[in-house]
Amino acid sequence: MDYRSEDILPYISTDSIIFGLDNGKLKVLLIKRAIEPSAGSWALPGGFVLNQEDLDMSARRTLQNMTGMTNMFMEQVYTFGQVNRFPGRRVVTVTYYSLINYTLENLKAGPDASAIHWFDIAEVPELVFDHRHILDTTLNFLRAKVRTEPIGFELLPQKFTLTELQGLYEAVLGTVFDTRNFRKKILKMNLLMPLDETQVGVAHRAARLYSFNKETYLKLKDKGFTFEL
């Protein structure tokens, strides 16, 4: 995790907005900076891009170092390059967001951070630089995207109940759906495989589990189908 200065692109960083879902709440992963400028403040995880590294790889590396995960869902959002967005020098940052299956285990803060923490999206502390603006922009981007592409599933375990799915959309979009209409709509798309399994260990009627069928989605998409919620 230590790089020689001749190995990095001095003007370009990537920052990542990592979303997770905990108990029907949308969460975002933040780090506490251990290095100047603004050591001790909360910030989005990120870092400088290496000379021999694609932008996407840079963002993936950040997330991989913290979570150990590879092959996670990740997309570029926007590039912020105001002259004075970063104190003391010019840094343009390319931002990515990621949707991961929320776990508290195995989070590593990394050498540049003294702490790492999941924050409820409604309780994010003050952030360094323009990171609050970046977060807001990304959240709007996510809200638009989640309604027109079936990416929400990335936040859930592979097997999930329809109630969990509805809760995910309610958390991300900040709205409430009618249960009957929501089920009707999502099931009519034929993207969900009903499994011969139900929840276990719940103190009420156990819900049927479903899984998202990505192959079917890709086939339907080719034929002109668009996911829309």
Partner DNA sequence: GCAAAAGTGTTCTTCGTACACCCATGC
Partner DNA sequence: GCATGGGTGTACGAAGAACACTTTTGC
Binding residues (CB under 7 A) for DNA: these are: 161-163, 178-181, 183-185, 198, 201-208, 228
Give the three-class secondary structure for 57: helix
Host H or E run for residue 56: helix 55-67
CB of 146 to a second copy, least distance (A): 15
Q: Is 51 in the site for a second copy (CB under 8 A)?
A: yes
Integer Cα distance of 18 and 75 in angstroms? 11
Q: Which does 71 bind (CB under 5 to 8 A by kind): DNA, a second copy, none?
A: none
Q: Which does 178 bind (CB under 5 to 8 A by kind): DNA, a second copy, none?
A: DNA
CB of 162 to DNA, least distance (A): 5
- Closer residue to a second copy (CB): 82 or 179: 82
- Closer residue to DNA (CB): 44 or 191: 191
CB of 202 to DNA, least distance (A): 6
Instruction: Retrieve residue 36's tokens.
Output: 């100047």
- Nearest Cα neighbor of 93 from 52, 134, 57 is 134
Of the candidate residues 38, 64, 76, 199, the single one contacting a second copy (CB under 8 A): 76
Q: Which does 83 bind (CB under 5 to 8 A by kind): DNA, a second copy, none?
A: a second copy
- Nearest Cα neighbor of 111 from 69, 70, 65 is 65
- Closer residue to a second copy (CB): 115 or 144: 144
Q: Is 11 in the site for a second copy (CB under 8 A)?
A: yes
Report the phi/psi class of residue 86: left, alpha or beta, with left for phi > 0 and alpha for psi in -120 to 50: beta
Terminal-residue alpha carbon distance, the chain: 41
Q: Which does 143 bind (CB under 5 to 8 A by kind): a second copy, DNA, none?
A: none
b/e 141-151 (16+ beta carbons within 10 angstroms → b): bbeebbeeebb
